[in-house]
């Protein structure tokens, strides 16, 4: 019988998130990035380089199948990159200097914890989106003449095309909201405490619903910053991604309270 397993952590209390918590978290995220930029750049370079490579392969070969690798790969490696940023913030918060061996060790250790299970859930959501996206396209534009999606834009301005865009946006938005809701607190919680991934997802979802206006605003801030970071050639993400990763850790610390 294995007696070396760590004891389960107590469940947290969900606090009230205010606007000042959002701005303070962003400022703290920027401060952490400036304090240890080498870590943020390391994780963001891997992410951005992977995205640029797949984008170039898609453009060069004309095969959108490369995007399937992105849909599977990024949700898989994204949480591990985020964990590295959370660990750096945790070290800085404790007034400790982060070291490569410790940070990467924490990231590698997650393979034996609950992060991979949550990554699998994210991938399942992406797979569902691929299936639904193809269904929506086939339903509204399956009979339309369109030889190349990059040159036949007129078809999207037809009634069926506009309807497809509207329905696809709503469905995609709902799935994105679900993913955001179960991961925004779930990922840092799984790093910080000994909980199973289902409990972490539930707590994350409860935190979002209990602070819905502020969390919607936070999601909008994240989306806008990511869009800005994509210009030019995704290079802005080299800064935006680590700042948001660090900021998410600080928002988690402000949103959930644990009894000492």
Query: 74 is written with which tokens?
Result: 């990024």
pLDDT digits (tens, 9 = 90+) for 230-239: 877 778 989 9
Q: What is the pLDDT of residue 1?
A: 42
Give exposure, 103-134, as e/b (b: 16+ Cβ within 10 Å): beebbeebeebbbeebbebbbebbeebeeeee
pLDDT at 76 over 60: no
Segment 99-122 shows an average pLDDT of 90
Q: Which of 4-8, 23-27, 55-59, 134-138 has the highest mean pLDDT?
A: 23-27
Task: List the one residue out of 252, 235, 107 whose CA is nearest residue 186.
Answer: 252
The average pLDDT across 35-40 equals 96
Rounded mean pLDDT, 125-135: 84
∠ at Cα 228 (88, 63), nearest 5°?
Answer: 95
Reply yes or no on whether the pLDDT at 71 is more than 60. Answer: no
pLDDT over 60 at 16, yes or no: yes
CB atoms within 10 A of CB 156: 15
Please tell me what DSSP assigns to residue 148: -
Q: What is the pLDDT of residues 169-192, one digit of tens each?
A: 898 889 889 999 999 999 999 999
User: Alpha carbon of 55 to those of 6, 7, 52, 152: distances in Å?
Assistant: 42, 44, 5, 20
pLDDT at 203: 97
pTM value is 0.86
Task: State both tokens at 258.
Answer: 């644990």
Whether 113 shows a pLDDT value over 80: the answer reads: yes
Among 15, 26, 18, smallest CA distance to 245 is for: 26
Phi, psi of 79 (to 5 degrees): -60, -35
Helices (H), the chain: 19-35, 37-61, 66-93, 100-109, 115-141, 159-183, 186-192, 197-210, 212-229, 237-255
pLDDT of residue 164: 85
């Amino acid at each position: 019988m294995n007696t070396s397993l760590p004891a389960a952590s107590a469940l947290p209390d969900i606090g009230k998130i205010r606007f000042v918590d959002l701005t303070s978290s962003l400022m703290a995220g920027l401060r952490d990035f400036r304090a240890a930029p080498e870590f943020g750049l390391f994780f963001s370079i891997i992410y951005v380089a992977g995205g640029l490579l797949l984008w170039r392969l898609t453009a060069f070969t004309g095969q959108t199948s490369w995007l399937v690798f992105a849909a599977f790969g990024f949700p898989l490696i994204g949480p591990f990159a985020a964990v590295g940023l959370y660990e750096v913030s945790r070290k800085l918060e404790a007034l400790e200097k982060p070291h490569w061996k410790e940070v990467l060790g924490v990231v590698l250790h997650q393979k034996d914890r609950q992060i991979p299970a949550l990554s699998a859930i994210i991938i399942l959501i992406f797979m569902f989106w691929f299936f639904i996206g193809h269904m929506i396209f086939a339903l509204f534009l399956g009979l339309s003449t369109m030889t190349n999606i990059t040159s036949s834009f007129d078809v999207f301005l037809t009634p069926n095309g506009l309807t497809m865009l509207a329905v696809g946006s709503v469905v995609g938005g709902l799935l994105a909201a679900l993913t955001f809701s179960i991961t925004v607190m779930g990922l840092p919680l799984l790093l910080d405490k000994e909980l199973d991934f289902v409990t972490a997802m539930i707590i994350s979802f409860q935190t979002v619903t209990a602070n819905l206006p502020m969390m919607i605003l936070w999601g909008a801030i994240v989306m806008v910053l990511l869009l800005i970071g994509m210009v030019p050639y995704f290079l802005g993400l080299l800064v935006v991604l680590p700042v948001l990763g660090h900021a998410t850790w600080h928002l988690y610390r402000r949103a959930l309270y644990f009894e000492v």
